[in-house]
A = this chain, B = another copy of it.
Amino acid sequence: MKKIINDPKDVLAEMTSGLVGAYPEKLEQIPDTFVIKRKVNAQQVALVSGGGSGHEPAHAGFVGDGMLSAAVCGQVFTSPTPDQIFAAIQATNEGKGVLLIVKNYSGDVMNFEMAQDMADLEDISVGFVLVDDDIAVEDSTYTQGRRGVAGTVLVHKILGAWAKNGASVEQLETAGKELVEKIKTIGVALSGATVPEVGKPGFELAEDEIEFGVGIHGEPGYRREKSKSSKEMAKEIVEKLKAEFQWEKGDSYGVLVNGMGATPLMEQYIFFNDVKAILEEEGVAISFSKVGNYMTSIDMAGLSLTMIQTDQAILDALNMPVDTIAW
């Protein structure tokens, strides 16, 4: 393993220190925690997300005006503890309540629910939106049901806009549940990710192999096969998404191509180009698009494609300016 780190045990502490140190005018760390919050709270429902680290820029890169109020950073690929989530709730609540946005992993769900219970005892109103956008497999290594992956970033963006525009906890929770139904993702991996404390990749692919449907912690996908062209990968993935969405000619969708960490933008743009051509053939209009590293898996090579059914309210929310380091 070659990595630019010091003691693997210090990765989380040094990474959060570096992140806040690089953007001191925007972000601060709650003392004695790995919670990254906005320097100045907004007078609105606070949006709190988080999860294991290793997915940077998610989630701390999306803390800022118009998106998240705080991100709770767990150890690498490990859920943050309930007390840290509760600290984020307390530090961001301005009396209008807090909405938790949680990717569907058993540890995250349990710990965010415990923090919600702790907030209940303090009479803080806390809503909960579970994101399970990964259609690759049902149930997985750390998940009952479907996994939460890159589509979570779109949930941050859209609910962030609506929260800024004054929606209540109840409204955001209801809207968030409807929104998650409209977002689906599927990924493909060219290599495994190496957790610093482990020191070797979580899985290995041969020099000519790829795997469809791998999760963002290296959870198994649905098929391993010989490497293919970008066009063929795009065809496979778009077909899977079509089977879920059952779209018709004339429908409009937003598209997010997300790099997993080690895949250059060059390849992500080429892949987007292929996706666009297929959707044109399908008669599906692209109403919003974005390409880049948003929800990574440390140093994994690969990417994911997220599609979202859009209407005007969703598009307005996606296009609203924000002040974050990574959107």
- Chain A residues proximal to chain B, CB less than 8 Å: 2-6, 11, 14-19, 21-23, 53-54, 56-57, 61, 76, 188, 190-191, 207-210, 227, 229-231, 233, 255, 257, 261-274, 276, 289-293, 296, 298-299, 301, 303, 325
Contacts and interface: CB of A to CB of B under 8 A. Distances in A.
Given A21-B272, A289-B21, A2 B301 contact: yes
B265 A5 contact: no
Contact of A22 (B15, B274, B290): B290
23 contacts: A2-B209, A4-B230, A4-B271, A4-B303, A6-B229, A14-B270, A15-B266, A16-B269, A17-B273, A18-B268, A18-B270, A18-B271, A18-B274, A18-B291, A19-B269, A22-B255, A22-B291, A23-B289, A54-B266, A61-B265, A76-B266, A261-B264, A262-B262
Contacts of A21: 272-273, 276, 289
- A15, A18, A269, A292, most chain B CB atoms within 10 A: A18
Contact of A208 (B2, B57, B269, B272): B2
Nearest to A256: B22
Contacts of A276: 18, 21-22
A209 to B, nearest CB: 8
A10 B151 CA distance: 30
A310 to B, nearest CB: 15
Given A56-B269, A289-B23, A293-B293, A263 B18 contact: no
